[in-house]
Amino acid sequence: KAGVTQTPRYLIKTRGQQVTLSCSPISGHRSVSWYQQTPGQGLQFLFEYFSETQRNKGNFPGRFSGRQFSNSRSEMNVSTLELGDSALYLCASSPSGYSNQPQHFGDGTRLSIL
């Protein structure tokens, strides 16, 4: 069974640009969550999608948005990039997102802002 696939693996952008990251969950998984990981803040929850609906959202500005498609694939968009957005962005999937279901992570997209 293929794992969670994130593309691209690496991105370099400049301040003010926007970026879109993609995540394909494990086959059969319908819940997709996004996290930002930085050395200073650790892993922080961005949002969770299930059946094309955002079910939960973390404390990030509106520049961070996402969506989920009918095949459960998800995209995350960051607009007006800032230097502080440099981070590892991780996507995790689970069957339905219930509390007793572990989340499995993809390899992440490392975003660098110049």
Partner 1 sequence: QKEVEQNSGPLSVPEGAIASLNCTYSDRGSQSFFWYRQYSGKSPELIMFIYSNGDKEDGRFTAQLNKASQYVSLLIRDSQPSDSATYLCAVRRPTGTASKLTFGTGTRLQVTL
Shortest approach of partner 1 to residue 16 CB, angstroms?
A: 28
Q: How many residues bind partner 1 (CB under 8 A)?
A: 25
User: Quick check: 100 binds partner 1 (CB under 8 A)?
Assistant: yes
Cα distances from 16 to residues 26, 78, 84, 85, in angstroms, run: 33, 10, 12, 11
Q: What six digits make up the tokens of 35?
A: 């996290």
**Residue 19 corresponds to which tokens in the numbers above?**
């970026």
Which range, of 14-22, 35-43, 65-73, 74-82, touches partner 1 by CB under 8 A?
Answer: 35-43
* Alpha-helical runs (H) found in 6-70: none
What residues make contact with partner 1 under the rule CB under 8 A?
Answer: 33, 35, 42-45, 48, 50, 55-56, 58, 88, 90, 92, 97-100, 102-108
